[in-house]
Amino acid sequence: MEENNNLNNGERKVLISVKVSTLLIVLLVIIVAVIAFVKISNAGNKQEPVQQTVHSMETEEKVPTKEPIKITARSSGIRNPELISIDEPQEEPQIQEEIVPEVEEVVEAPEQIETTKIEDVTISVDMDLTVRTGLSREDFITLISGVKADTSGFFEENAGLIYDLCEKYSLNEIFFCGLISAESGWNIASNHRNTHNYISLMSSNGLIRFASVEEGLEKAAETLHNKYLTPGGSFYYGPTLSAMKTRFCPASSTWVSLVYGRMAQILP
């Protein structure tokens, strides 16, 4: 009986020891689980302020840039599918209006061109035939209208045209009229009037024929300028009457005095 009791007591001790160990293990597991749960909870609670901090940093770092925003043509209602660059709107700088002081406009008077008076016009037998008289167009017409030798009225009728041609081809107006009178007469001989050839321009068939008064007078002025009175011209020997005679009328010994006499008749 005593042995059985001793055995039972030993078994009880072992059983109690096992139960205590098991209980300790369970407690240890619970403690570990609690600690782990607490750590996880603390870790979860600490993540929110970190996220908020990051979020706030992202918010602060968003600074408008000058890079264009790309939108597609589909979103803008345009059929072309290419990308369209649109600059991000920026604040327009304030422009201060510049105050400009008022300046009185100065109107310059038209330049006065000095002209020669009719009574001051002079000629000479050795004059440069390319130098103008200096008369105004109006005064030249007045001068020609007073020439008594102009019995046909041809010179008075065409005085404006003659003045314009002399201006265009650099001819002295008195010389041009004197040459026409010397070659065609003051009354303009019929053969010159019919051909509109007023300075006896010749071809192998005789007087060259022109279509009108205007064409004949212009051809006369152009020929004198290009061939007789301009250096390099095919018949140029100088700008005077005697030099021009060398090729214009070489056979005549009275041509210079004839032309100059008709020129003198024009002046008052």
Question: How many CB atoms within 10 Å of residue 233?
Answer: 15
List, for residues 23-67, the tens digit of each pLDDT value: 788 788 888 787 877 777 766 555 544 444 444 444 444 545 555
Query: Where in the chain are the domains?
Result: 6-35, 118-266
Are 173 and 181 spatial neighbours (Cβ–Cβ below 8 Å)? no
Q: What's the predicted TM-score (pTM) here?
A: 0.60
CA distances from 69 to 80, 84, 88, 170 (A): 17, 9, 7, 71
pLDDT recorded at residue 241: 98
pLDDT score recorded for residue 108: 66
> What does the pLDDT read at residue 178?
98
What is the structure's pLDDT at 54?
A: 41
**Which positions ≥6 away from 245 have C-beta within 8 Å?**
252, 255, 256
CB 229, CB 171: distance < 8 Å = yes
Low-confidence ranges of the chain (pLDDT < 50): 2, 48-61, 63, 71-86
CATH 1.10.530.10 fits 118-266, yes or no: yes
**Confidence at residue 81, expressed as pLDDT on a 0 to 100 scale:** 44
Give residue 109's pLDDT.
Answer: 58
Query: For position 83, what pLDDT does the model report?
Result: 45
